[in-house]
A and B are shown apart, each in its own frame.
Chain A
């Protein structure tokens, strides 16, 4: 019972702050609502016994990616933001389409039954750092190495793109 109440609180705040992220005029407000959203997603991860992922969510998403966004938003101009319109001219179509898809998914999920609903969830401690590390460094070692190459490409690409051309 208390689990359900906690989950409903997290889900409500996640959906509300997601709507606020895409509707605010000022991008800085959007980034701050995104921060709130990431904290509550970390809360959902804790409810699902994924403590390590909750920590990674907070450290990498809230701590690194979002701060990067905040820096770039502040680097570029925000003073023209209050005059410009926030949505393109097709936004009623997009919003209607979104409502339609959300209603459709809700209907399908509500009418269907999940066999996993009655399944036994993961036991406590089965998804700790030790178990995760053992799986990551044995079975998923090659994807792990590829992920490091992706990070290297991202690092080099960001530096190459954003540096000023001195010779031209």
Chain B
């Protein structure tokens, strides 16, 4: 039987990789994908704890997380298309219109 702490370690590692991706990359696609990485890390944690607590609540919440991720991806990609059309760039450090 796999100990629960292994799942927690895996999900913490995946979450940290996602955080580093959000903080360090310039391309807005990679930043969005890093957010998906973090959501998936949370999903692994939810399913693992649901498995060991013998409760289905974790599974239900994973379904909701996937729903929100789908809606978020659709809206965010629409915003990226608008940004690329209006500003001609997908690099976040070139969007400095409001910088004083």
Instruction: List chain A positions with a Cβ less than 8 A from chain B.
Output: 3-4, 7, 11, 14-15, 18-19, 21-22, 27, 30-31, 34, 37-38, 41, 44-45, 47-50, 52-53, 56-57, 60-61, 64-65, 68-69, 72-73, 75-77, 81, 84-88, 90-91, 93-95, 97-98, 101-102, 105-106, 109-110, 112, 114, 116-117, 119-123, 126-127, 131-132, 135-136, 140, 143, 147, 150-151, 153-155, 157-159, 161-162
- Select one of B30, B60, B93 contacting A132, CB under 8 A: B60
Q: Which residues of B contact A56 (CB under 8 A)?
A: 62-63, 66
Contact (A109, B12) CB under 8 Å given A22-B34, A157-B75? yes
Q: Within 8 Å CB of B90, what residues of A? A: 76-77
Q: Contact between A61 and B69 (Cβ–Cβ < 8 Å)?
A: yes
Q: Once the chains bind, are A106 and B12 in contact (CB under 8 Å)?
A: yes
Q: How far is the CB of A132 from chain B (nearest CB, A)?
A: 6
